[in-house]
């Protein structure tokens, strides 16, 4: 590690604690539009933090400030306890950025791309050779390392895009929607790679508008919309914001109204709505309650043809918080 | 600094790989120089005047009439043969093409002049005489003017009552006055470039504006393909990337311009003079052109837009600077054209070609520095459309 990449403890901000990243009240405006409005969060070592929100929510602007690409109008970003900014050369060494757009040169081979960016990261010759081989192995491109990247598939390009960000073993890896436009198989490979990173102790900031990715990868999730963090916590903590209730839908024939009255008597059932052939139930802990509900409905003369349980997910959390769907 | 040179080295290798600089910076301008040289070769100053024959009818033993034919034979730049013919054959000989010019001096020419009487010299111009015919007429007219001046002087002497011998002496001296005034011919140093030299310098200057554009095109290409964000996240200042692209354009410009001047001067027989002074001019004009790319980088949102803007600027500045032919202008238009770095470059090469050195290049270099400083200032003031 070169001298200017060694953290200078004297410049550490006292309240940064052991967090790799501290984002404090970031604000960024473009003309009259406030793209990021008072955004704050922290990421500890080995933690994967997800910024979940629809397109245009402010995710990319937020990570552009975190990565030192643009300045914040107000607020602060601390990486390893030191303030980040476009001119903070010493702090930038601790981050690895994987931009949403493929940031690779199509007329270079995979290995040449890695070597070029590795040299710009000031890796020494031996370290560079070693890390290029390790990263090629990690992203599964060792066999195609000598091919021009313009001949790669979309998924291979995405993996190389991530590999470049990992090359210098940063403390914080920032991934901006890394699975956009890739096939399911490549997406699975990318998600597995990201899971492995947190195990190795790397802090990961992951932006996505795919709920499933956030649920699978992230220890904590910040739901962002219209430039503001609407809620933050683990998946279960966020789900509890919706009231923690599940939904069960019963289809069948018989006397719907009699069945509805019978189900209202059950303590697990909080609410029952009915139309001509369907009952909609709001219940606590649906997996446990469903047996009693089905039995009770059958005894009330309902001949069931279909039972569907819906548990709350991040999509419903987003709907609950913002009043709109995640992909709107 | 190390990263700056890494990016420059990387960009130069990319440009060599895609052969774009080779094509637009070297091959096309050399080809254009060749074509334009063929096109404008008729204007080349190396054209020599052809030998001519003058059919002259001159009275025998008439000293002032002989002065006219003597003046024609004395033209050093062209071989003139004066063939004396009878007066009635002068027109026919000229019409038949035996002579380029016919001259008829009337009998009693000298007495008439010295006595102040009206007399007349007849000139007949043949077909297709061209430049040689123009020269003959011009010399004849000049000689007649001198003789007329002598006649005027003689008339003045006669009015004063001078004797005939004295009047004849005055007439001879007045006619010969032109011989006493030496006309020293010379050219201002900044107009010394030959037409071929102007062609080579102009094309080198014109295509320089394209060549340095590869720097800004690279900058916008990085933005378009997404690598700019990654470069800006590297442990270096954002200005390092911009400086590297500008330096790439500058180095390409210096190489291409030096190559074009060297090869062009060899192919077309042009001597631009002192090598060091020419090198200073090349660095100056490339720096000015490179500074212009900072403005283009601010105006254009994409590499394609930058290419169009750069091409328009190159053609306008190149043509206004005299890349194809000198632009005649006066007043404020001439001042604007003079402030063009390509015009300054061509003017500077004229100075070095005429024997000038760095000390004589003050004005062109000042124009280049001023142009560069203005472009840098403008680029700081206008918003960056691509980043917006």
Beta bridge partners of residue A225, listed in sequence order:
A228
pLDDT of residue B372: 92
Which residues of chain A fall below pLDDT 50?
1-10, 14
Ranges of CATH 3.40.190 domains, chain B: 52-188
Nearest Cα residue in chain B from A29: B388
Q: What is the pLDDT of residues B46-69, one digit of tens each?
A: 556 778 888 999 888 887 888 888
Select from B17, B228, B233 the residue whose CB has the most chain A CBs within 10 Å, as the one to mutate to test that interface: B233
Q: Which of B138-142, B253-257, B296-300: highest mean pLDDT?
A: B253-257
Axis crossing angle, helix B213-225 with helix B238-268, rounded to the nearest 10: 140
- Which residue has better confidence, B20 or A231? A231
pLDDT of residue A239: 84
CATH code, A3-240: 3.40.50.300
**pLDDT reading at B224 higher than 60:** yes
Lowest mean pLDDT among A271-285, B222-236, B306-320: B306-320
Q: What is the pLDDT of residues B207-221, one digit of tens each?
A: 888 888 888 788 888
Q: What is the pLDDT of residues A83-100, one digit of tens each?
A: 998 989 999 999 999 998
**pLDDT reading at B375 higher than 80:** yes
Nearest to A28 by CA among A38, A20, A19, A18: A38
Lowest mean pLDDT among A182-186, B180-184, B192-196: B180-184
Give contacts of B2 with chain A, Cβ < 8 Å. Answer: 122
pLDDT > 70: percent of chain B:
89
What is the rounded average pLDDT of the residues B374-388?
A: 78
Q: Does A104 sit within 8 Å of B229, measured CB to CB?
A: no
pLDDT of residue B233: 92
Q: Which of B105-114, B256-265, B329-338: highest mean pLDDT?
A: B256-265
ipTM over 0.85: no
Nearest to B149 by CA among B169, B167, B175: B175
Nearest Cα residue in chain B from A92: B235
Give contacts of B234 with chain A, Cβ < 8 Å. Answer: 92, 117, 120-121
pLDDT of residue A327: 60
Q: Does A102 sit within 8 Å of B229, measured CB to CB?
A: no
Helix (H) or strand (E) segment spanning residue B245: helix B238-268
What is the rounded average pLDDT of the residues B118-136?
A: 81
What span, in angstroms and rounded, lies between the C-alpha atoms of B350 and B194?
Answer: 8
Domain B52-188, classified CATH 1.20.120, yes or no: no
CB pairs under 8 A between A and B: 70
Nearest to B102 by CA among B119, B125, B84, B82: B125
pLDDT of residue B171: 67
Give the full edge-to-edge strand order of the sheet including A74-79. A33-43, A21-30, A74-79, A82-83
Q: Does B229 sit within 8 Å of A69, measured CB to CB?
A: yes
Nearest Cα residue in chain B from A103: B227
Quickly state the pLDDT bin for B330 (edges 50, 70, 90).
low
Q: Does A121 sit within 8 Å of B7, measured CB to CB?
A: no
pLDDT > 90: percent of chain B:
13
pLDDT of residue B70: 85
Q: Where are the domains of chain A?
A: 3-240, 246-311
What size, in residues, is chain B?
388
pLDDT of residue B36: 76
Class (C level, CATH) for A246-311: alpha beta
What is the rounded average pLDDT of the residues B17-32?
A: 79
Q: Does A99 sit within 8 Å of B229, measured CB to CB?
A: yes
């Amino acid at each position: 590690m070169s001298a200017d990449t060694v953290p200078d403890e004297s410049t550490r901000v006292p309240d940064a604690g052991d967090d790799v990243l501290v984002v404090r009240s970031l604000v960024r405006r473009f003309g009259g539009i406030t793209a990021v409005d008072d955004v704050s969060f922290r990421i500890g070592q080995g933690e994967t933090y997800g910024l979940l929100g629809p397109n245009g929510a402010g995710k990319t602007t937020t990570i552009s400030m975190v990565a030192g690409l643009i300045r914040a109008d107000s607020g602060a970003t601390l990486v390893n306890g030191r303030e980040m900014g476009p001119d903070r050369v010493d702090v930038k060494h601790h981050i690895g950025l994987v931009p949403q757009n493929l940031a690779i040169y199509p007329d270079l081979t995979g290995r040449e791309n890695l070597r070029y960016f590795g040299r710009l990261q000031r890796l020494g010759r031996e370290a560079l050779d070693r890390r290029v081989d390790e990263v090629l192995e990690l992203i599964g491109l060792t066999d195609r390392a000598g091919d021009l990247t313009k001949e790669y598939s979309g998924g291979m390009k995405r993996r190389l895009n991530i590999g470049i960000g990992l090359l210098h073993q940063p403390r914080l890896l920032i991934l901006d929607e890394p699975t956009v436009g890739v096939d399911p198989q490549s997406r699975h490979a990318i998600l597995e790679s990201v899971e492995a990173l947190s195990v190795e102790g790397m802090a990961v900031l992951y932006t996505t508008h795919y709920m499933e990715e956030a649920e699978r990868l992230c220890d904590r999730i910040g739901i962002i919309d219209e430039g503001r963090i609407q809620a933050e916590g683990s998946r279960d903590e966020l789900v509890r914001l919706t009231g923690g209730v599940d939904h069960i839908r019963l289809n069948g024939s018989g006397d719907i109204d009699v069945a509805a009255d019978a189900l209202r008597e059950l303590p697990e059932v909080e609410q029952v709505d009915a139309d001509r052939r369907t009952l909609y139930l709001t219940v606590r802990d649906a997996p446990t309650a469903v047996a009693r509900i089905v039995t009770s409905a059958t005894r009330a003369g309902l001949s069931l043809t279909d039972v569907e349980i819906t548990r709350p997910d991040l999509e419903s959390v987003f709907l609950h918080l913002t009043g709109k769907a995640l992909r709107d | 600094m190390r990263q700056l040179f890494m990016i420059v080295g990387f960009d130069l290798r990319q440009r060599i790989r895609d052969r774009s600089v080779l094509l637009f910076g070297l091959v096309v301008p050399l080809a254009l120089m060749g074509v334009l040289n063929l096109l404008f070769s008729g204007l080349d100053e190396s054209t020599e005047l052809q030998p001519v024959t003058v059919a002259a009818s001159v009275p025998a033993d008439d000293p002032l009439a002989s002065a006219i034919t003597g003046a024609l034979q004395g033209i050093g730049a062209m071989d003139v043969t004066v063939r004396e013919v009878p007066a009635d054959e002068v027109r026919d000989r000229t019409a038949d093409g035996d002579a380029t010019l016919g001259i008829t001096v009337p009998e009693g020419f000298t007495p008439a002049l010295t006595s102040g009487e009206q007399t007349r010299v007849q000139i007949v111009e043949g077909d297709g005489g061209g430049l040689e015919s123009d020269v003959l007429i011009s010399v004849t007219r000049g000689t007649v003017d001198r003789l007329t001046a002598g006649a005027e002087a003689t008339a003045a002497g006669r009015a004063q009552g001078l004797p005939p011998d004295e009047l004849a002496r005055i007439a001879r001296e007045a006619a010969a006055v032109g011989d006493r005034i030496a006309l020293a011919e010379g050219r201002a140093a900044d107009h010394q470039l030959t037409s071929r030299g102007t062609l080579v310098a102009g094309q080198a200057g014109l295509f320089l504006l394209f060549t340095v554009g590869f720097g800004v095109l690279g900058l916008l290409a990085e933005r378009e393909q997404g690598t700019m964000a990654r470069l800006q996240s590297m442990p270096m200042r954002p200005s390092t990337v911009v400086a590297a692209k500008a330096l790439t354009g500058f180095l390409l410009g210096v190489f291409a311009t030096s190559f074009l001047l060297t090869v062009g001067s060899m192919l077309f027989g042009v001597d631009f003079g002192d090598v060091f002074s020419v090198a200073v001019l090349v660095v100056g004009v490339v720096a000015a052109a490179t500074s212009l790319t900072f403005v283009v980088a601010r105006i254009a949102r994409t590499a394609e837009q930058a290419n169009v803007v750069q091409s328009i600027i190159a053609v306008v500045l190149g043509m206004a600077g005299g890349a194809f032919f000198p632009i005649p202008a006066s007043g404020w238009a001439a001042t604007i054209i003079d402030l063009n770095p390509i015009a300054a470059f061509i003017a500077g090469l004229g100075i070095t070609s005429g024997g000038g050195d760095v000390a004589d290049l003050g004005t062109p270099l000042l124009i280049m520095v001023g142009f560069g400083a203005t472009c840098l200032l403008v680029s700081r003031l206008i918003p960056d459309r691509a980043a917006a």
